[in-house]
Chains A and B, each alone.
Chain A
Amino acid sequence: DTAVSQTPKYLVTQMGNDKSIKCEQNLGHDTMYWYKQDSKKFLKIMFSYNNKELIINETVPNRFSPKSPDKAHLNLHINSLELGDSAVYFCASSQGIGTGDQPQHFGDGTRLSIL
């Protein structure tokens, strides 16, 4: 039973298109995250939501817009895709924020390739 699931697993699209990635967690967590992993394997946080409220918003182009319809779901919409957006996007979830000691559970990623 998958804990953090992302769809789609692979996304190949043309530059300039708009696309969405979806994430769902069934762990009962109240905090969800989007990370970007580049070709050199660095994982960098993009956004974090706690109970549908935006908590972390890193320096990310405003072409990226997260949406959390409820605390079990976090989607990422990307407008006007650029070549540099090619990466693996990971969703994660955890219980609580602020203490720094709540382990984050990751999905298996969405591999985005821009042609």
Chain B
Amino acid sequence: QKEVEQDPGPLSVPEGAIVSLNCTYSNSAFQYFMWYRQYSRKGPELLMYTYSSGNKEDGRFTAQVDKSSKYISLFIRDSQPSDSATYLCAMNFKAAGNKLTFGGGTRVLVKP
């Protein structure tokens, strides 16, 4: 079993809908939680970063962390075709330095 699990999708939504993505993890030591967006044939690009439990909002993006359930989410409001990409969650903890553990990514398709 992988340390970080993510549904590979694809998740297909109509333009304007809310995209809901999530990851579950098994290591309770994780403290820092990130969401990266990866377009085809490009490198991952950091979207959101959250420390410990709680919510964080940035424009159309909202990240949620529930450490008690070992579950993190990313919501994209008013989705656009340009949001079509693979979304990767990543996490680590202080003692691990900058060693990120990634989920396998969820492919999202936003249809016009």
* A residues at B contact (CB < 8 Å): 4, 31, 33, 40-45, 48, 55-56, 90, 92, 94, 96-109
Contact = CB atoms under 8 A, between A and B. Distances in A.
Interface residues of B, number: 28
A101 B8 CA distance: 26
A100 B44 contact: no
Nearest to A38: B104
Contacts of A105: 46
Most A CB contacts (10 A, CB to CB) among B32, B36, B92, B98 go to B98
A74 to B, nearest CB: 14
Contacts, number: 70
A107 B34 contact: no
A99 B49 CA distance: 13
B104 A41 contact: yes
Contact of A108 (B34, B42, B86, B88): B42
A110 to B, nearest CB: 10
Contacts of B97: 48, 55-56, 97-98, 100
A41 B105 contact: yes
A106 B44 contact: yes
A43 B31 CA distance: 19
